[in-house]
């Protein structure tokens, strides 16, 4: 959808007036995202490309709309304005503030607030160490070049006592700070283990792919101190290597199939950092 087409559609449905200002955000591997500003309000309009298959991140507009509805009132995600499936357009309130920078305490608090959401009805992701490792194996099997790395040994991890509505791609998809921090880009939500969301924040690869340096040891310790959930810290320790193996496979695969040399280099950098993370000892 061009800027003119988006403006025309928003005018047609009565969401904005003729004086609205549109600004397209840079980046975005899958979707086109615009800031829509009126004299007294700012919105985000997201036009979705085709749903992704064979990946960890399905890119479903229907699921993002459902997640934003489910999270309403929890101060976790932006407020949904509307979803128009015929044009694959999602509109939600613009979250004021800068992209996340260093507020690990805010992230810990946000993840705990998110636990109040009912996960029922969303896709299920795998939960066991064995199944997570198997997904990593499948990604590496697609690659022509497999890095020299040892597959983590299988760990007997008890199932999570509670299933959560998880984002699956926390990384730096965060805007604001403190109680105003919000988690954006909910196009791949799932029913799963909160440890998967913790992993997708603490993982160096996710930070690198968000064009940020990996978190420091101090930031990670501060995150766990703020979370105050030793039960989750223990589960995370048991699952981390499996999560890292899977995402390493994903990064290796993406580095081979994408056409942009700079993006491929970023995925290779993320891959190498994740393999090192997989082999480190406790980080809290």
Of residues 94, 67, 93, 66, the one with CA closest to residue 81: 93
Domain locations along the chain:
3-93, 104-279
- The CA distances from residue 130 to 146, 153, 159, in Å, are 20, 9, 12
Select the more confidently predicted residue: 39 or 166.
166
**pLDDT of 284:** 55
In this structure, of 3-7, 121-125, 153-157, 250-254, the range with the lowest mean pLDDT score is 153-157
DSSP designation for 179: G
Euclidean distance between the first and final Cα of the chain, in Å? Answer: 46
| pLDDT tops 80 at residue 26 | no
How many percent of the chain have pLDDT more than 70?
98
| pLDDT tops 60 at residue 89 | yes
Work out the average pLDDT over 4-25: 92
**181-198 tens-digit pLDDT:** 999 999 999 999 999 999
Measured between alpha carbons, how far is 190 from 31 in angstroms, rounded to an integer?
19
| pLDDT tops 60 at residue 142 | yes
**pLDDT of 256:** 95
In this structure, the chain runs to a length of 284
Q: For residue 29, what pLDDT band results from cuts at 50, 70 and 90?
A: low
Q: Which residue is listed with tokens 């309403």?
A: 72
Select the more confidently predicted residue: 39 or 65.
65
Of residues 43, 34, 38, 106, the one with CA closest to residue 75: 106
Q: Are 3-93 and 104-279 the same fold in CATH?
A: no
Q: For residue 72, what pLDDT band results from cuts at 50, 70 and 90?
A: very high
Give the three-class secondary structure for 174: strand
**pLDDT of 107:** 97
The reported pTM is 0.94
Q: For residue 283, what pLDDT band results from cuts at 50, 70 and 90?
A: low
- Cβ-contact 84, 13 below 8 angstroms: yes
Domain range 104-279, CATH architecture: Alpha-Beta Complex (3.90)
**pLDDT of 18:** 86
**pLDDT of 39:** 81
Q: For residue 130, what pLDDT band results from cuts at 50, 70 and 90?
A: very high
- Superfamily name with CATH number, domain 3-93: Phosphorylase Kinase; domain 1 (3.30.200.20)
Work out the average pLDDT over 277-283: 77
Q: For residue 27, what pLDDT band results from cuts at 50, 70 and 90?
A: low
| pLDDT tops 80 at residue 28 | no
Work out the average pLDDT over 71-93: 96
């Amino acid at each position: 959808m061009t800027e003119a087409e988006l403006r025309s559609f928003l005018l047609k449905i009565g969401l904005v007036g003729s004086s609205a200002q549109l600004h397209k955000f840079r980046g975005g591997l899958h979707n086109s995202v615009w800031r829509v500003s009126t004299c007294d309000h700012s919105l985000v309009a997201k036009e979705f490309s085709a749903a992704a298959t064979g990946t960890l991140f399905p890119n479903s507009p229907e699921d993002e709309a459902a997640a934003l509805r489910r999270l309403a009132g929890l101060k976790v995600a932006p407020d949904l304005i509307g979803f128009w499936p015929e044009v694959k357009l999602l509109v939600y309130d613009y979250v004021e503030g800068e992209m996340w920078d260093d507020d690990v305490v805010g992230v810990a608090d946000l993840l705990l607030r998110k636990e109040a959401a009912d996960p029922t009805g969303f896709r299920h992701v795998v939960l066991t160490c064995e199944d997570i490792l198997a997904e990593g194996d499948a990604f590496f099997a697609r690659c022509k070049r497999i890095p020299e790395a040892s597959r983590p040994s299988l760990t007997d991890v008890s199932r999570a006592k509670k299933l959560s509505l998880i984002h699956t791609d926390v990384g730096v998809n965060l805007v604001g700070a403190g109680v105003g921090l919000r988690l954006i880009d909910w196009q791949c939500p799932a029913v799963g283990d909160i440890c998967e969301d913790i992993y997708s924040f603490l993982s160096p690869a996710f930070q690198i792919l968000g064009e940020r340096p990996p978190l420091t040891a101090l930031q990670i310790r501060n995150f766990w101190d703020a979370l105050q959930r030793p039960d989750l810290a223990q589960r995370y320790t048991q699952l981390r290597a499996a999560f890292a193996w899977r995402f390493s496979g994903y990064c290796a695969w993406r580095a081979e199939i994408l056409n942009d040399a700079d993006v491929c280099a970023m995925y290779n950098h993320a891959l190498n950092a994740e393999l090192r993370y997989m082999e480190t000892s406790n980080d809290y």
